[in-house]
Amino acid sequence: MRYAALLVAAIFLLAGCGTAPQGAPQGTTSEAAADDFSYDEAQFPGAKPWTHENFKDDPDEFQFAVLGDRGGGASPLGVYEHAMQQLNWLQPAFVMSVGDFVEGYTTVQEEMDEQWEEFEEIIAELQPPFFHVRGNHDINLPLTRQAWTDRRGPQYYYFRYKDVLFVVLDTEDAERPMPENMEEDIATYNRLKKESQEAAMAFIIEWMQTPEAQEAFGHAARVDFPREQIDWFKQVLADNEDVRWTFVFLHEPVWDNPSDAFTEIDEAIQGRDYTFFAGHTHYYDYDLLNGQEYITVASAGAAFVHDGPGNVDMLTLVTMTNDGPEIAGVALKGLFDRKGLDPEMFGSYDRAPQLGPEGEGGH
Ligand SMILES: [Fe+2]
C-alpha cells in the first residue's frame, strides 16, 4: 500500500498537479470538469478540504514522452524493454525518440535484420504510437541506410498534434566514415550479450573509455545538413505558422558544435515558441539559448560515456499546456509497478546492500 501511494504521488507530481500554489487557482475550470466534479455541497457550509476546482483536464492539453538512446552499447539488463512497460503505465498520448535504436555498424545483412527484428519486437510492447528519429547507429553504412528506408521510410518528417508542430530532422543525412574497429567491437559486444551479461557489461565499460568510442559517442558532430533538408525545414515552418508550439527532434545535439548549416536552421526557427530535443551523448544536458530550451536527453539503456550526474537511464514526460510545455525528467529507476518493487526490473537497487538481513533497517 505504501508503495502504491508513493507511485500515485509520483505520477501526480509528474503531471504537474503538485506545483499549483495552494489557494491560488490558475486558468479556468474546464466545462468538462464542471460537469464531472460533484459533491454534497451541504457538507461544506464553510471551508472545503481542497484547494480549488481547476482540474487539469483541458482537452487541448496533452502529454507525450521522449525516450533516449538504446543503441551504442544497449544494456544487457534490458533497460529499453523495461521502459516500454513503464511508458505503458504512464500512458502518454505518444512517444518521441532521438534515434539509435540498434547497434548497427555492420556489413552483414542477416546481422542487420536480426538487430531490427529484436528492436521491433521490443517496441511492439508499447501501447502509444512511437515516432522514430535517425541516429548514427541506425544508418551509418549503405546497408544500414537501406534497412532504415525499408523499415522506417523517410529520413525526416513532420506532423501536427492538437495544433502543435513536431519536426523530426536527420543529423545523419551526410555520410560519414565508420570509426576504426567499430564493426568488430560492435560484433564482439553483440556476441557477449548473448553469452554473459557480466562479460558484456565489463566489455562495454572498458570499450567506452577508448578514444574510438569517445569520438563516436562523446560529443555532437559538426553536422553539415544538406541544402535540401534545410530548405524543407524552412518550408515546413512556413506552412505551419499557426501552431502554438514547435518541437524539433534530432539525434545529435548540434547546438553544442554548430555548423553554418545548423546556424541557418536555428535562425529560421527564431520568432516562434519552440523546444529542441536530442540524444546521442548518453548524458543529460540542458541549454537555454535564445530564450528557448535545447535539451539533450540521457540514455534508455545505451552505455555511459561521460562521468557525472548526467548519467541516468531516463524518460522525459512533456505536458503541453496552454501556457507552454511542462517538462519532467524521470529516472527509470524511479518508476515501478503498482504491485511493488521488482528487483528483476533494474537488476539491483542502489540502497539494497545497506539494508541488512531481510531488509532490516529499511524505511
Ligand atoms: Fe548516437
Residue 248 exposure: Cα atoms within 13 Å on the Cβ side: 26
pLDDT tens for each residue of 156-190: 999 999 999 999 999 998 777 777 788 888 889 88
Beta-strand runs (E) in the chain = 62-67, 94-97, 157-161, 164-168, 245-249, 274-278, 285-289, 292-296, 314-321, 324-331
Closest by CA to 259, choosing from 291, 216, 287, 224, is 224
Rounded distance from Cα 236 to ligand 1 centre (Å):
25
Rounded distance from Cα 212 to ligand 1 centre (Å):
13
- Output the CA angle 327-288-24, nearest 5 degrees: 45
Rounded distance from Cα 180 to ligand 1 centre (Å):
16
For residue 17, pLDDT over 80 is answered with no
CA distance 170 to 154: 10
What pLDDT is stored for residue 354 in this prediction? 41
Rounded distance from Cα 18 to ligand 1 centre (Å):
35
Phi-psi sector, 52: left (phi>0), alpha (psi -120 to 50), beta: beta
Closest by CA to 352, choosing from 197, 79, 343, 314, is 343
What pLDDT is stored for residue 341 in this prediction? 75
What pLDDT is stored for residue 23 in this prediction? 38
Q: Indicate the helix (H) or strand (E) that contains 137.
A: helix 136-139
Once rounded to an integer, what is the mean pLDDT over residues 2-22? 40
Mean residue pLDDT across the chain: 85
CA distances from 216 to 121, 135, 137, 181, 275 (A): 27, 12, 10, 11, 25
Q: Indicate the helix (H) or strand (E) that contains 36.
A: helix 31-36
Please give the residue that has the higher pLDDT: either 332 or 318.
318
What pLDDT is stored for residue 353 in this prediction? 40
Please give the residue that has the higher pLDDT: either 123 or 343.
123
Rounded distance from Cα 247 to ligand 1 centre (Å):
20
Rounded distance from Cα 144 to ligand 1 centre (Å):
14
What pLDDT is stored for residue 236 in this prediction? 98
Rounded distance from Cα 1 to ligand 1 centre (Å):
41
Share of the chain above pLDDT 90, in %: 58
Q: How confident is the model at residue 144 (pLDDT cuts 50, 70, 90)?
A: confident
Q: Which amino acid is at 134?
A: R
Share of the chain above pLDDT 70, in %: 85
Rounded distance from Cα 100 to ligand 1 centre (Å):
6
Rounded distance from Cα 85 to ligand 1 centre (Å):
24
Please give the residue that has the higher pLDDT: either 64 or 195.
64
Rounded distance from Cα 98 to ligand 1 centre (Å):
9
How far is residue 248 CA from its own chain's centroid? 13
| Helix 182-195, helix 109-123: angle, nearest 10 | 50
**Domains of the chain by range and CATH?**
62-181+225-334 (3.60.21.10)
* Structural contact between residues 189 and 199, judged by C-beta atoms closer than 8 angstroms: no
CB under 5 Å of ion ligand 1: residues: 100, 135-136, 280
Query: What are the phi and psi torsion angles at 150 (to 5°)?
Result: -70, -40
Hey, CA dihedral for 205, 126, 275, 166, is it positive or negative? positive
pLDDT tens for each residue of 38-95: 999 999 999 999 999 999 999 999 999 999 999 988 888 889 999 999 999 999 999 9
Query: What are the phi and psi torsion angles at 293 (to 5°)?
Result: -95, 130
pLDDT tens for each residue of 242-284: 999 999 999 999 999 999 999 999 999 999 999 999 999 999 9
Q: How confident is the model at residue 9 (pLDDT cuts 50, 70, 90)?
A: very low
Name the burial class of residue 222, with classes exposed (0-12), middle (13-18) and buried (19+) by CB atoms within 10 angstroms of its CB.
middle
Secondary-structure breakdown of the chain: helix, strand, coil percentages, each rounded to the nearest 5:
40, 15, 45
Rounded distance from Cα 161 to ligand 1 centre (Å):
27
What pLDDT is stored for residue 33 in this prediction? 59
Rounded distance from Cα 63 to ligand 1 centre (Å):
26
Q: How confident is the model at residue 29 (pLDDT cuts 50, 70, 90)?
A: very low
For residue 27, pLDDT over 90 is answered with no
Q: How confident is the model at residue 347 (pLDDT cuts 50, 70, 90)?
A: low
